[in-house]
Amino acid sequence: MDAGQTMTRYQIMMSLSLIAIAALMLQVILFVIFGLVTVRKLRKNPATRNHLGVQFVPGWVILNVSIALARPRRWAQRVENSPLGWLVANSQLVRAHTTRLDRMLARVHFWSYAFAMIWLLGWLAYGKLGGFPAHP
């Protein structure tokens, strides 16, 4: 291959970083939409109001609900039956009171968040270990 046609390691990392930043921006938009559409509906429902998990910081319930709807049921049951089960949203109850669109939105929201965070943390670790050249 011609040296002018191949991408350098730096160019590949920058391209993938732009994809991660785009996923993060998508996640922020979905965070607001999911909070306004689904979580507001669940908070108004007396049956689900006290089963949305612990809110450590404002907005944490939105992440709790999206995790409860996005992860497989077996994993959800395992976490809910553990001693720390009171920290997470009750996935069976949340699934019963949401529509198919809500569940799809939760999956897209959670997995775009997970991809962006894993990539950005990996990118940070790669840079700390000296993986980036000083200048291309």
Per-domain boundaries in the chain: 10-128
Does the CA dihedral 8-9-10-15 come out positive or negative? positive
pLDDT digit string (tens) for 27-74?
889 899 999 999 999 999 999 988 888 888 888 899 899 999 998 888
Residue 28 · residue 35 · CB < 8 Å: no
Q: Does pTM top 0.85 for this prediction?
A: no
CA distances from 118 to 24, 63, 79, 123, 127 (A): 11, 16, 21, 8, 14
